[in-house]
Chains A and B, each alone.
Chain A
Amino acid sequence: MTLDSRTPGGPLPGKWDRHRFESKLVNPANRRKFTVIIVGTGLAGASAASSLGELGYNVKSFCIHDSPRRAHSIAAQGGINAAKNYQNDGDSIQRLFHDTVKGGDYRSREANVYRLAQLSVNIIDQCVAQGVPFAREYGGLLDNRSFGGAQVSRTFYARGQTGQQLLLGAYQSMMRQVEKRSVSLFANREMLDLVVVSGQARGIICRNLITGEIERHAGHAVLLCTGGYGTAYYLSTNAVNSNVTAAWRAHKRGAFFANPCYTQIHPTCIPVSGTHQSKLTLMSESLRNDGRVWVPKKNGDKRPPQQIPEEDRDYYLERRYPSFGNLVPRDVASRNAKVVCDEGRGVGESGLAVYLDFGDAIKRLGEDVIRTRYGNLFDMYRKITDEDPYRSPMRIYPAIHYTMGGLWVDYNLMSTIAGLHVLGEANFSDHGANRLGASALMQGLADGYFVIPYTLANYLGGTAFPVVTTDHDAFRDASDTVQGRIDKLLNARGKETPRQLHRRLGQLLWDYVGMARNDAGLGKALAEISKLRDEFWQNVSVPGPANNLNKNLEYAGRVADYLEFAEVLTVDALHRTESCGGHFREESQTPDGEALRDDANFSYVAAWEFKGVTAKPELHKEPLDFEYVKPSQRSYK
């Protein structure tokens, strides 16, 4: 099978316009005859449900939460990018496009990124119209801050709760459609399989998490908006119920998985403090606007930070990257933190932390200004660590945060299964090998509000649909598969908890498929993952009933999927012997330790086809051509 990205022809700036003009439409009177299944209610899913509901499609919306408003997007803190150039500081669509392609280390599709930059401006307008309380200046105009990888201020924010406010805007719009009955809401449902009939995605199987019932839902298209797979690593900044299950099961039905090894490790998280931890907490990147990152110059300097004089401190980001300083992209900041800790200059009890210091900013601007900018983040830090960041610097360390990889999609956001569209973090589309801060919210909303209404119409308007009901054999087969897997979990009756097994998988991935990867380590990880998977099925304990709320059963299913998924993640990391963005192969670095790409051999998207749980997946390549941005060694010096 050849991967066709279906990127429209013509000059870059006009591609999307032209594509919209050439796309088929669905007559308003016919729209309600089409049932669109949307799985997930984060920024991508909620925005898609509201915009498609407004257009008059018959939308069915599913989520694992008790309310759509609790999707993981709610936790995004720092902000959302848009090329509004409200600050008159040299921003433009062209520049946002450029920064994003470069930030992604030249591993993304140019046409997608350009469209994203174009749509970014509409997103802000839409959100403000919904009443999203973005921060304002005294004159009443919108305020902006800077994020890593950019030299302009283009990030819009609502305190440290930007994701919450954007999601509530999308959720409220979606609930308006629920009231109008164009969207039907199915909360507390977990999608456990995709139903494919004659090559088309025609429905899903899900478990009602309250009653345990296995349900069948049929439709004309399925939109997966189920988020990323960061929790494969057990400890991450993601919400604890985040999972790869929906995407993985679609993968097993034929959707290719692209670039799974592109994972993002966020440089500023509260460090690990013990084995009891269930997740790590992010300290927003926006803090790097005013915080300065440093470690002691001397190895093993155990003095408290206040007693270490200026001349004994190494502000290593400012030293190594004078033009971007503390605002280098995430992959660069994380790797540098690892390097100084590996040198023995890390701070705190574990030695696995660096300082993020607001002392200078407080002196310059006063405590009140810092409090209005970051008050809620400082409070969060204090609650968790019992330390006061107004008095002494924060201690931070990198943690798994975001996944650039995801199901492969074409320019229309359609996967390798006809009718299965993938939006938001669940797809691989726009961020290449590294995502810039404040760009995930932008992508999720662009996909849902502005891309899918056009590309889905094109699909529905141009496709013949045989009549399919939930009595179809394909539904019965899929629902039997789901039931079989649940029974197998309940009958394992072992001694280990899903959490213990998940923690071990996470440690393995963090050690060998984490911030720095090498051939030997990846090989070892592959061997260990398959052993751990066998152990899981022999020894997992999943007590309790299947016919009511059983969170441990849900969790066990997600861990089981991660144990399968971890293998393709590792295989991808092993095959890509170059370094790029978040994927750092120790074998491939520049003399000063930066990621060294190998464009001659790896300028492609790696899309993996499922061949069986124990079989090696098959690699398909989508070549990446750069017409407008010349790939070069990324430099933030």
Chain B
Amino acid sequence: MRITLKVWRQSGPAKAGTLVEYAADNVSADMSFLEMLDLVNEGLIARGEDPIAFDSDCREGICGACGFLIDGLPHGPVRGSTVCQLHMRSFSDGDTLVLEPWRAKAFPLVKDLVVDRSAFDRIIQAGGYTSINVGGARDANSILIGKDTVEQAMDSAACIACGACVAACKNASAALFTAAKITHLSLLPQGQVERYTRVVRMVDRHDDEGFGSCSNEGECEAVCPKEIPITNIARMNREYLKATLMRGR
């Protein structure tokens, strides 16, 4: 098939950006979306032009490196999928698609479709862990955890930190990302000791990084490639409230 792409090209954060049109010919339905972009880039490189910058690594939906907007939708039109897992069979011959980077104040643009998501690392750094040094752990089976509990924790721990939730949110909030880690750890016995300090530190860091606040629109849940539900955010808010009440006391 033949696809027309309008791709956001911007050589750096301080430069002006614009949509540039490219034709992708000989696209096969079995290609992934990124393989289609590889094909376009191969043409550009052979002609000595600067290829379109986009990020990817695992190409199987787990590393979270890939992600951009296709016609305004983070990771494109298929639910529960990253853009590297999206196949061209989801599109039709003759389609025109607009590709743009995640747009959020806390994700400064690096180049073309690549943005700086290091704010996510700094949110984790604020408290997304258990403070256990290597060497002191007790026998793993001495901590009993119900199957349902661990499955629920795993649903939240599955977050890949791609940033789609931020890109979909009109307030550019990273509430779903932050809540997923808080939920994972607050459900498990290992996370109890730091449960209330963690939520405060992480939520405060989230705000300091320039992410907006959540107004419960639910767009994040709809675009999350790991289908992490918005109930995580409700839990985070409850945890935060409890923590501030306890602190007040």
Please determine whether A72 and B57 come into contact, CB atoms closer than 8 angstroms. Answer: yes
Given the interface pairs A131-B185, A278-B38, the reply to whether A67 lies near B138 with Cβ below 8 Å is no
Given the interface pairs A187-B118, A279-B59, the reply to whether A141 lies near B48 with Cβ below 8 Å is no
Please determine whether A158 and B154 come into contact, CB atoms closer than 8 angstroms. Answer: yes
Question: Does B11 make an interface contact (CB < 8 A)?
Answer: yes
Please determine whether A67 and B38 come into contact, CB atoms closer than 8 angstroms. Answer: no
Please determine whether A159 and B154 come into contact, CB atoms closer than 8 angstroms. Answer: yes
The CA of A139 and the CA of B149, in the complex, are separated in Å by 12
Please determine whether A69 and B161 come into contact, CB atoms closer than 8 angstroms. Answer: yes
Question: Does A543 make an interface contact (CB < 8 A)?
Answer: yes
The CA of A423 and the CA of B146, in the complex, are separated in Å by 35
Closest Cβ neighbor of A125 among chain B residues: B137
Q: Which residues of A contact B207 (CB under 8 A)?
A: none
Question: Does A481 make an interface contact (CB < 8 A)?
Answer: no
Please determine whether A175 and B128 come into contact, CB atoms closer than 8 angstroms. Answer: yes
Given the interface pairs A70-B65, A453-B134, the reply to whether A549 lies near B42 with Cβ below 8 Å is no
The CA of A79 and the CA of B20, in the complex, are separated in Å by 44
Q: Which residues of B contact A168 (CB under 8 A)?
A: 157
Please determine whether A131 and B63 come into contact, CB atoms closer than 8 angstroms. Answer: no
The CA of A210 and the CA of B115, in the complex, are separated in Å by 11
Question: Does A496 make an interface contact (CB < 8 A)?
Answer: yes
- Which of B46, B58, B136, B150 is close to A75, meaning CB atoms less than 8 Å apart? B58
Complex interface bits, A491-519 against B, C-beta within 8 A gives 1, otherwise 0: 00101111110000000000000000000
The stretch that binds A, out of B26-34, B91-99, B231-239, B241-249, is B26-34
Question: Does A316 make an interface contact (CB < 8 A)?
Answer: no
Complex interface bits, B120-153 against A, C-beta within 8 A gives 1, otherwise 0: 1100111011111110111111011111001001
Shortest distance between the CB of B21 and any CB in chain A (Å):
19
Please determine whether B184 and A131 come into contact, CB atoms closer than 8 angstroms. Answer: yes
Question: Does A178 make an interface contact (CB < 8 A)?
Answer: yes
Question: Does B85 make an interface contact (CB < 8 A)?
Answer: yes
Question: Does A240 make an interface contact (CB < 8 A)?
Answer: yes
Closest Cβ neighbor of A187 among chain B residues: B118
Q: Which residues of B contact A142 (CB under 8 A)?
A: 140-141
Interface centre among B30, B41, B134, B184 (most CB of A within 10 A): B134
Q: Which residues of B contact A126 (CB under 8 A)?
A: 132, 134, 137
Question: Does A380 make an interface contact (CB < 8 A)?
Answer: yes
The stretch that binds B, out of A213-221, A269-277, A396-404, is A269-277
Question: Does A6 make an interface contact (CB < 8 A)?
Answer: no
- Which of A134, A210, A545 is close to B150, meaning CB atoms less than 8 Å apart? A134
Closest Cβ neighbor of B55 among chain A residues: A66
> Which of B35-58 touch A at CB < 8 Å?
35, 38-39, 41-42, 44-46, 48-51, 53, 55-58
Closest Cβ neighbor of A450 among chain B residues: B134
Please determine whether B50 and A125 come into contact, CB atoms closer than 8 angstroms. Answer: no
- Which of B30, B53, B143, B146 is close to A128, meaning CB atoms less than 8 Å apart? B143
- Which of A159, A179, A493, A500 is close to B48, meaning CB atoms less than 8 Å apart? A493
Please determine whether B58 and A543 come into contact, CB atoms closer than 8 angstroms. Answer: no
Closest Cβ neighbor of B88 among chain A residues: A276
Question: Does B117 make an interface contact (CB < 8 A)?
Answer: yes
The CA of A65 and the CA of B72, in the complex, are separated in Å by 26
Total interface residues on B, using CB and 8 Å?
A: 76
Closest Cβ neighbor of B136 among chain A residues: A129
Question: Does A84 make an interface contact (CB < 8 A)?
Answer: yes
Please determine whether A548 and B12 come into contact, CB atoms closer than 8 angstroms. Answer: yes
The CA of A130 and the CA of B51, in the complex, are separated in Å by 41
Please determine whether B45 and A124 come into contact, CB atoms closer than 8 angstroms. Answer: no
Q: How large is the interface on A (under 10, 10 to 19, 20 to 34, 35 or more residues)?
A: 35 or more
Chain B facing A: main interface SS: loop
Question: Does B110 make an interface contact (CB < 8 A)?
Answer: yes
Please determine whether A552 and B45 come into contact, CB atoms closer than 8 angstroms. Answer: yes
Please determine whether B118 and A273 come into contact, CB atoms closer than 8 angstroms. Answer: no
Question: Does A50 make an interface contact (CB < 8 A)?
Answer: yes
- Which of A175, A276, A281, A383 is close to B81, meaning CB atoms less than 8 Å apart? A383
Question: Does A630 make an interface contact (CB < 8 A)?
Answer: no
> Which of B65-99 touch A at CB < 8 Å?
65, 81, 85, 87, 89
Please determine whether A140 and B146 come into contact, CB atoms closer than 8 angstroms. Answer: yes
Complex interface bits, B151-168 against A, C-beta within 8 A gives 1, otherwise 0: 001100110110000000
Please determine whether A449 and B48 come into contact, CB atoms closer than 8 angstroms. Answer: no
The CA of A158 and the CA of B188, in the complex, are separated in Å by 14
Please determine whether B132 and A240 come into contact, CB atoms closer than 8 angstroms. Answer: no
Question: Does A541 make an interface contact (CB < 8 A)?
Answer: yes
Complex interface bits, A144-179 against B, C-beta within 8 A gives 1, otherwise 0: 000000000000001101001100100111011011
Shortest distance between the CB of A80 and any CB in chain B (Å):
12
Q: Which residues of B contact A383 (CB under 8 A)?
A: 81, 85, 87
The CA of A384 and the CA of B138, in the complex, are separated in Å by 42
Shortest distance between the CB of A620 and any CB in chain B (Å):
34
Question: Does A54 make an interface contact (CB < 8 A)?
Answer: yes
Please determine whether B57 and A241 come into contact, CB atoms closer than 8 angstroms. Answer: yes
Closest Cβ neighbor of B57 among chain A residues: A239
Please determine whether A65 and B65 come into contact, CB atoms closer than 8 angstroms. Answer: yes
Question: Does A254 make an interface contact (CB < 8 A)?
Answer: no
Q: Which residues of A contact B128 (CB under 8 A)?
A: 172, 175
Shortest distance between the CB of A26 and any CB in chain B (Å):
16
The CA of A121 and the CA of B57, in the complex, are separated in Å by 31
Question: Does A471 make an interface contact (CB < 8 A)?
Answer: no
Q: Which residues of B contact A552 (CB under 8 A)?
A: 41, 45, 51
Q: Which residues of A contact B28 (CB under 8 A)?
A: 274, 276
Q: Which residues of A contact B147 (CB under 8 A)?
A: 136-138, 140
Complex interface bits, A545-585 against B, C-beta within 8 A gives 1, otherwise 0: 10011111000000000000000000000000000000000
Please determine whether A278 and B188 come into contact, CB atoms closer than 8 angstroms. Answer: no
Closest Cβ neighbor of A82 among chain B residues: B140
The CA of A137 and the CA of B148, in the complex, are separated in Å by 10
Please determine whether A140 and B145 come into contact, CB atoms closer than 8 angstroms. Answer: yes
Q: Which residues of B contact A276 (CB under 8 A)?
A: 28, 30-31, 35, 38-39
The CA of A279 and the CA of B11, in the complex, are separated in Å by 28
Given the interface pairs A131-B188, A274-B28, the reply to whether A125 lies near B51 with Cβ below 8 Å is no
Question: Does A362 make an interface contact (CB < 8 A)?
Answer: no
Q: Which residues of A contact B171 (CB under 8 A)?
A: none
> Which of A246-301 touch B at CB < 8 Å?
273-274, 276-279, 281
Q: Which residues of B contact A69 (CB under 8 A)?
A: 64, 121, 161
The CA of A72 and the CA of B81, in the complex, are separated in Å by 19
Question: Does B62 make an interface contact (CB < 8 A)?
Answer: yes
- Which of B45, B143, B158 is close to A541, meaning CB atoms less than 8 Å apart? B45
Interface, chain A (partner B; CB < 8 A): 47, 50-51, 54, 65-70, 72, 74-75, 84, 86, 122, 124-131, 133-142, 158-159, 161, 164-165, 168, 171-173, 175-176, 178-179, 185, 187, 210, 239-241, 273-274, 276-279, 281, 380, 383-384, 386, 449-450, 453, 493, 495-500, 541-545, 548-552
Interface, chain B (partner A; CB < 8 A): 11-12, 28, 30-32, 34-35, 38-39, 41-42, 44-46, 48-51, 53, 55-65, 81, 85, 87, 89, 110-111, 114, 116-118, 120-121, 124-126, 128-134, 136-141, 143-147, 150, 153-154, 157-158, 160-161, 184-185, 188, 190-191
Q: A65-B57, A128-B137 are in contact. List 19 more A-B contacts (CB 8 A).
A: A66-B55, A67-B117, A67-B120, A70-B57, A130-B190, A136-B150, A161-B62, A164-B158, A187-B121, A274-B31, A278-B59, A279-B60, A384-B87, A386-B87, A543-B45, A544-B49, A549-B114, A550-B50, A550-B53
Q: Can you offer 23 A-B residue contacts whose CB atoms are under 8 A?
A: A67-B121, A69-B64, A75-B63, A125-B138, A133-B184, A133-B188, A140-B146, A141-B141, A161-B158, A172-B124, A175-B125, A176-B129, A210-B110, A277-B35, A278-B32, A384-B85, A493-B48, A498-B45, A541-B45, A541-B48, A543-B44, A548-B111, A549-B53
List the 5 closest pairs (A to B, CB-CB), nearest first. A140-B144, A172-B129, A129-B137, A544-B50, A125-B137
